[in-house]
């Protein structure tokens, strides 16, 4: 493959990755106006937030099936189908005349995203390895976060015109269809190996690590999604909300995340996986605590910069660990499991955060989320100590082999 083709392949994959951040963040500034427009619906406080997070439920439901289909039938055609569904269903909010119709379009969007995130993650594992993969994952997270800056600010400006206008942006995804067909290639299919009993085996799998990664992905997304689903209402309660201003605050989150994600390859060369998690969770702890005491735009921007920096280092680490412990034969399914964990977390987030808000208010809710991040930082330290102890014991055993 020529160098130009390789660059084109990376660029197309990066642009596809930005579609996942567009899912909710584009319409986040419209949520207060959506709540007013459909105010005659019961439980509108919760349902208006579900416009943001309902796609996450359908991502969680569809991603495992997308992974199985990808492992059996290939990646490219499924990815094209998912992008077409994304553009059509995402833009359906322009015409939805009822809340159920709006939510139905969001559900279809979630199915499309389930395919996109699973297939793109599997393709990263197929196309790249080693240090090149780490550099790409950092670049991908940077594209996602920096794309979020453009999308959320665009969404904020368009929401000032009318709450339906941000839905226009989803249709732009259809432009990627020809590029995917032209520059992405179907990876070589892996043939299953069989053991003596004729059962399929998957060499290279580390299921305990995959389980931990999925749990982390879930907790991280339950936590950070409190920001796009609740912060605008917190700002309203403080009397400082406007859609474009909220777009600026949320844009700072994505800008910081993108900047730090560009350094992920550098972090991987110098720090262990556990140390990177420790740095990221510590930053997210500080960001949430600062957010809980913020009452003006300046402090909220500082809090979101800190939060974004933490997420920008944590999420590539999650993806890298998952791909690194996946057998090629099961890469699509493992990608689907991680995607499911991410988006179940996003879907559950408003239910958990809304309960906390009613119980203790917005500030205490953000502070409690910060305590969850602090607990994950402590667990990262314990994991690092356990890993170091295991390495020492292995060195001792190698230095003093037993004789029988």
Domain extent listing, the chain:
3-186+205-387
For 162-225, where are the alpha helices, taking DSSP H only?
176-183, 207-224
The per-residue pLDDT for range 250-296, each reduced to its tens digit, is 888 888 888 898 888 889 888 999 999 999 999 999 999 999 998 88
- Cα diameter, the chain: 80
The per-residue pLDDT for range 72-96, each reduced to its tens digit, is 888 899 999 999 999 999 998 888 8
pLDDT at 197 over 70: no
Q: What is the pLDDT of residue 129?
A: 82
Q: Topology of domain 3-186+205-387, per CATH?
A: Growth Hormone; Chain: A; (1.20.1250)
Task: Provide mean pLDDT across the span 307-333.
Answer: 85
pLDDT at 17 over 50: yes
Contact 30, 159 (CB under 8 A): yes
Q: What is the pLDDT of residue 12?
A: 92
Q: What is the pLDDT of residue 83?
A: 95
Instruction: Express as a percent the part of the chain with pLDDT over 90.
Output: 26
Secondary structure element (H or E) that encloses residue 388, with its range = helix 362-399
Higher model confidence: residue 400 or residue 150? 150
Q: What is the pLDDT of residue 96?
A: 84
Phi, psi of 112 (to 5 degrees): -65, -45
SS3 (DSSP) at 179? helix
């Amino acid at each position: 493959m020529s160098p130009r083709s390789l660059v084109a392949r990376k660029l197309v994959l990066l642009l596809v990755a930005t579609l996942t951040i567009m899912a909710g963040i584009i319409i986040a500034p419209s949520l207060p106006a959506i709540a007013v427009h459909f105010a005659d619906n019961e439980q509108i406080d919760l349902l208006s937030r579900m416009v943001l997070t309902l796609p996450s439920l359908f991502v969680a439901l569809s991603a495992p099936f997308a992974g199985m289909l990808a492992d059996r039938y290939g990646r490219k055609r499924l990815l094209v189908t998912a992008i077409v569904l994304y553009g059509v269903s995402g833009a359906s909010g322009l015409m939805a005349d009822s809340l159920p119709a709006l939510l139905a379009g969001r559900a279809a969007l979630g199915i499309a995203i389930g395919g996109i995130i699973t297939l793109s993650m599997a393709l990263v594992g197929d196309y790249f390895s080693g240090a090149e993969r780490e550099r790409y994952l950092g670049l991908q997270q940077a594209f996602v976060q920096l794309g979020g800056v453009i999308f959320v600010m665009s969404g904020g400006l368009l929401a000032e015109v009318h709450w339906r206008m941000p839905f226009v942006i989803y249709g732009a995804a259809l432009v990627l269809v020809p590029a995917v067909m032209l520059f992405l290639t179907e990876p070589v299919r892996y043939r299953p190996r069989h053991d003596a009993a004729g059962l399929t085996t998957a060499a290279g799998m580390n299921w305990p690590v995959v389980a931990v990664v999925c749990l982390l992905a879930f907790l991280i997304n339950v936590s950070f999604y409190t920001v796009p689903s609740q912060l605008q209402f917190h700002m309203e309660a403080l009397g400082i909300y406007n859609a474009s201003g909220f777009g600026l605050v949320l844009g700072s989150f994505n800008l910081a995340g993108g900047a730090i994600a560009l350094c992920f390859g550098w972090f991987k060369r110098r720090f262990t996986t556990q140390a990177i998690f420790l740095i990221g969770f510590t930053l997210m702890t500080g960001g949430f605590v600062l957010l809980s005491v913020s009452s003006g735009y300046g402090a909220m921007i500082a809090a979101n910069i800190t939060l974004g920096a933490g997420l920008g280092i944590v999420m590539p680490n999650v993806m890298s660990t998952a791909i690194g412990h996946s057998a090629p034969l099961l890469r699509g399914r493992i990608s689907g499991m991680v995607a499911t964990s991410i988006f179940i977390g996003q879907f559950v987030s408003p239910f958990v955060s809304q309960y906390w808000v009613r119980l203790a208010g917005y500030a205490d809710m953000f502070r409690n989320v910060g305590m969850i991040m602090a607990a994950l930082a402590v667990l990262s330290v314990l994991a690092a100590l356990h890993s170091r102890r295991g390495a020492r014991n292995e060195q001792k055993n190698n230095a003093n082999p037993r004789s029988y």
